[in-house]
Amino acid sequence: MKDKKKIIIIAITGIAILVAGILCKQEFFLMIPLFVSLFVMAFQSEANRVGPLIGSINSLIYTAAYIYMGVYASAASAILFSFPIQLMTFFRWKKNAYKKTAIFRKMTTKMRIVWSALFLVAWGIIAAIFMHLDYEYAILDSCTLLFGFVIPVLTMLAYIEYTYLWIVQCILGVFLNIQMIVNDPKETTYLIYGVYALYCVIGAFISVQKFYKEQQKSLSEV
């Protein structure tokens, strides 16, 4: 990550998160994972396998933050899912390395249909449960929650489709944060990070497409 433009964007975003956190009286300890995430996403924007490695370490920091906040389900998800799958992604990408990234592949039409059907069924079930619990953000949050499990799996398996879904997740996440700010101004820090993450994910999409085309061209020339 030698791009000066990205370093400047990271610095500006970090300062904005810090200022928003101070103004909203958010505890600094709870902002630390966000600061680390800025660098994780910078590497992810280049489809660099270092991203998942740092991300796995950051999952441990998130776990500590969630325990401190008393949200134990999120803590369990971070330590039992996010941490191991990002670590596995790093080692899998390293095993199937291509430059600083991995060898990517594309889903077949049948796989896309099956994955889409399973996603819609799972989304319907989770959304119904959230709505039954009278959760205000049932539709958006259930969708982003499900993306949070599907995208890491597709990333680990190096399917290029993970970037498509990631863009959708980030857009939904930004809308969700905007809605939540009305009730909790502390969500401002997550909104700022969400906009930054969307920028990085678009970069990841471009990077993955470029690497995939390079790899396919190399295969066709063999």
Q: How far apart are CA 78 and CA 3, in angstroms?
A: 30
pLDDT of 119 = 92
DSSP 43-78: HHTTT-THHHHHHHHHHHHHHHHHHHHT-HHHHHHI
Residue 220: predicted pLDDT: 78
d(CA 47, CA 214): 14
Q: What is the pLDDT of residue 195?
A: 96
| Sign, Cα dihedral of 61, 52, 115, 190 | positive
pTM listed for this prediction: 0.90
Helix (H, G, I), strand (E, B) or coil at 146: helix
Total domain count, the chain: 1
Q: Name the residue range of residue 24's domain.
A: 4-221
Residue 146: beta bridge partners? Answer: none
* 109 Cβ contact partners less than 8 Å away, ≥ 6 residues apart: none
Residue 103, burial from CB neighbour count under 10 angstroms (0-12, 13-18, 19+): middle
**pLDDT computed for residue 193 by the predictor:** 95
Phi, psi of 158 (to 5 degrees): 60, 40
**Cα separation, 85 vs 122, whole angstroms:** 20
Q: How far apart are CA 155 and CA 206, in angstroms?
A: 15
pLDDT along the chain (222 residues), means of 10: 84 96 88 95 97 97 88 85 97 96 96 94 88 78 87 97 96 88 86 96 97 91 64
Q: Tell me the two tokens of residue 11.
A: 């610095």
Q: In angstroms, rounded to a whole number, what is the distance separating the alpha carbons of residues 107 and 80? A: 27
